[in-house]
Amino acid sequence: MAPPLLQMTDIRYTLGGKPLLDGVDLQVGRGDRICLVGRNGSGKSTLMKVVSGDVVADKGTRFLQPDATLRVLPQEPDLSGYDDVLSYVEGGLGPLDNPYRARSLLDDLGLTGDEKPGHLSGGELRRAALARVLAPEPDILLLDEPTNHLDLPAIEWLENELKSLRSALVLVSHDRRFLSNLSRSTVWLDRGRTRRIDQGFSAFEEWRDTVLEEEEVERHKLDRKIAREEDWVRYGVSGRRKRNVRRMADLGELRRNRREATRAVGLATMTVSEGRTSGKLVIEAEGVSKSFGDRPIVRDFSTRVLRGDRLGIIGPNGAGKTTLLNILTAREAPDRGDVKVGSNVELATLDQARSSLKPDTTLSDALTGGGSDQVIVNGSSKHVIGYMKDFLFGPEQARTPLSRLSGGERGRLMLARALALPSNLLVLDEPTNDLDLETLDLLQDMLAEYPGTVVVVSHDRDFLDRVSTSVINAEGQGRWIEYAGGYSDMVAQRGQGVTARVKEGAEAPAAGQRPAASPGAAPARKGKMSFKDKHALESLPKQMADMRDQRAKLQSGLDDPGLYARDPKRFAKLSASLADIDARHTAAEEEWLMLEMMREEIEG
């Protein structure tokens, strides 16, 4: 068996006097697809920094093969020192890397490369950083929340791009669908230690629940044993002193084991302050239109939202989702048409930009409004420290400035503030950003039990499937269509998912016509071949030849008649790799044939 590209053993790291990583092991082999999961604050980002070499562990060994290349997607890309995006992306290439791939990736991600670093949005920064780490096709690729700030077309393009890479992947993400589609192994970071299963994320939650149930049984046995020992301490007849001292020491060890077993991070406790019952009709929009200059944002859109509905609004970045949301909630007036908000509607909102969070404000003041230590929830007064604990904040964080909170902590704070307001209409703009999976589960359960109406803007496909009763999708050029069900139901009715926004000046698809292909889709016929198409046509034959060589080596290993009996794990791994290389070769062959036909048509 080939040695791993990266081997980490007994990694220990202390932060703020507390052990964050306590005996972590991690192994990354060629072609691995690993998702790293764990609660917010469990140390996932710190572990990724130790893996990358940016942070040195207090103890343990980290071995990276000398010839292995490793790239890390930064949470906050630094483009200082670069004249434009293209020079930043090319700066990540090695001497033997293909410079054409940098331009091709930028084109796929909707960037020209001429953009100036100081004028980039959060989404453009993330796309530039993705192009920089993907261009070299490294041996190991570390991606920490790669889907943040990306819209659905870009997320689905990224999935397809990562599937085609030979790089080993280590992924941290709150996007269940993204993890399920890409991962083949799962590493669970829990209470400072790692557990691993050689199955993708789709198997994780059932496995995690089984592990926790087994721990609960063992904890119950431990509690009974401790109770017996404590009974002996109180009522037992003393024997030899040496034996008693040893038994007391054993009792102390049992108590330490119980404390360690119950040291898991708690679950958030979410309750929403319910307002008065609204009327049956919550929102009615009739013939609504809105434009900015010559660009239509909403065109002749009508809908009715009834009490108890769960409405999702989806579409690519720049389509106008937030504008439509503001029009429906009467926070922005349309150019034409009417919007009626029903009777007794009490609105609570979660701001996507988190612009209402002032950096110097303390956590306590952000929840109470300042000048008090009480939060009003459901008409009852609750001490701010207790309310903070419901959202997994420690008492010591009460005076912490908001500027020192992590992304996940800021997300929980915004939820805590929104849910404390009396409401019967809850408006959530990108609520899933930076939340861990368990907190997302709790948010979904809370929304399911919420008696009012929910309107949510999200790029999280799994979240939309679990929450929405209908979704409104941007079809391009100001056209919005409502579909029954969640995101997957919309895809089934529409024939495809959310697609990239049609550029200004391009023709919008007619009703019933399929919209423009999203990033990563097969090329359509056009007047001339793009730079990307030409490069793919030239490079695909060599890639297919390399795949055939790899396939021959894998088949050679599988031809060993005693392999399965001797090493069934290696047999399974080789079989999976063979199936993967066959699928990739077929896809590459189909793409090459399509491009060749396009070339012949254009030249003919």
Question: Do the first three CATH levels of 6-203 and 281-494 match, i.e. the same topology?
Answer: yes
Q: How confident is the model at residue 259 (pLDDT cuts 50, 70, 90)?
A: low
Residue 510's pLDDT band (boundaries 50, 70, 90)? very low
Looking at residue 504, what is its pLDDT? 46
* Distance, CA of 35 to CA of 318 (rounded, Å): 30
**What is the chain's percent helix, strand, coil content, to nearest 5?**
40, 20, 35
Q: Scanning the structure block, which residue is given the tokens 């016509």?
A: 513
Topology of domain 531-603, per CATH? Helix Hairpins (1.10.287)
Question: Where is pLDDT greater, at 146 or 351?
Answer: 146
Rounded Cα–Cα distance for residues 478 and 335 (Å): 13
For position 455, what pLDDT does the model report? Answer: 94
Q: Do 339 and 284 meet the contact criterion of CB atoms below 8 Å apart?
A: yes
pLDDT of residue 509: 44
E strand or H helix that includes residue 88? helix 85-90
Banded model confidence at residue 225, pLDDT cuts 50, 70, 90: low
In the CATH hierarchy, which fold is given to the domain comprising 6-203? Rossmann fold (3.40.50)
Q: What are the backbone dihedrals phi and psi of residue 547, each rounded to the nearest 5 degrees, phi first?
A: -65, -40
Q: Give 387-423 pLDDT, tens digit per residue.
A: 888 777 878 888 888 887 776 777 778 778 777 778 8
pLDDT of residue 249: 62
Mean per-residue pLDDT, 429-458:
83
pLDDT of residue 601: 75
Residue 154's SS3 state is: helix
pLDDT in tens, 428-439: 888 887 777 877
The DSSP secondary-structure symbol of 295 reads E
pLDDT for the residue 567: 84
Bridge partners, 144 (sequence order): 172
| pLDDT of 525 strictly over 50 | no
pLDDT at res. 497 = 81
CA distance 560 to 540: 31
Q: pLDDT band at 272, cuts 50/70/90?
A: low
Task: Give the whole-angstrom CA distance, residue 229 versus residue 233.
Answer: 6
Using alpha carbons, select from 146, 156, 124, 182 the residue that is nearest to residue 487: 156
For residues 213 and 198, what is the distance between their CA atoms, to the nearest angstrom?
A: 20
Q: What is the pLDDT of residue 10?
A: 96
Assign 250 a pLDDT band (cuts: 50, 70, 90): low
Burial class from Cβ neighbours inside 10 Å (0-12, 13-18, 19+) for residue 234 reads exposed
Tokens 């993705």 locate to: 130
pLDDT of 6 > 90? The answer is yes
Residue 233's pLDDT band (cuts 50, 70, 90): low
Cα separation of 506 and 379, whole Å? Answer: 53
Q: What is the mean pLDDT of the chain?
A: 83
pLDDT at 246: 62
What residue spans define the domains of the chain?
A: 6-203, 206-261, 281-494, 531-603
Distance of CA 416 to CAs 425, 449, 511, Å? 16, 17, 42
Angle, vertex CA 198, rays to CA 193 and CA 204, nearest 5: 70
pLDDT at 83 over 90: yes
Listed residue (241, 35, 222) closest to 141, CA to CA: 35
For residues 482 and 396, the model is more confident at: 482
DSSP-derived 3-state class of residue 24 = strand
Poorest-confidence range of 131-140, 310-319, 373-382? 373-382
Q: Which pLDDT value is given to residue 573? A: 84
Q: What are the backbone angles phi and psi of residue 175, rounded to the nearest 5°?
A: -85, 105
State the pLDDT at residue 461. 93
Beta bridge partners of 470: 311, 484
Least confident of 4-8, 120-124, 230-234, 506-510: 506-510
Q: How many helices (H) and strands (E) does the chain have?
A: 18, 20
User: Which carries the bigger pLDDT value, residue 56 or residue 518?
Assistant: 56
pLDDT band at residue 269 using 50, 70 and 90 as cut-offs: low
pLDDT of residue 226: 62
User: Can you list the positions of beta strands (E) in 85-176?
Assistant: 140-144, 168-172
Q: Higher model confidence: residue 579 or residue 144?
A: 144
Q: What percent of the chain shows pLDDT beyond 70? A: 83
| Secondary structure element (H or E) that encloses residue 180, with its range | helix 176-182
- The amino acid present at 99, given as its one-letter code, is P
Residue at token pair 């972590």: 24
Contacts 24+ apart (CB under 8 A), 538-544: 539/98, 540/588, 540/591, 540/592, 540/595, 541/592, 543/588, 544/585, 544/588, 544/589, 544/592
Average pLDDT of the segment spanning 482-511? 72
Rounded CA gap, 261 and 168, in Å? Answer: 33
Give the pLDDT score at 352: 54
What architecture (CATH level 2) is domain 281-494? Answer: 3-Layer(aba) Sandwich (3.40)
Mean pLDDT of 486-502: 82
Sign of the Cα torsion 393, 396, 401, 407 reads negative
Q: Please name which of 225, 227, 232 lies closest in space to residue 248, comparing C-alpha atoms.
A: 232
Q: Which range among 177-191, 209-223, 495-509, 535-549 shows the weakest confidence by mean pLDDT? A: 495-509
E strand or H helix at 282, and its extent?
strand 281-292
Inter-residue contact 153 to 518 (CB < 8 Å): yes
285 with 302: CB under 8 angstroms? Answer: yes
Cα–chain-centroid distance for residue 603?
Answer: 44
Q: Cα separation of 13 and 420, whole Å?
A: 37
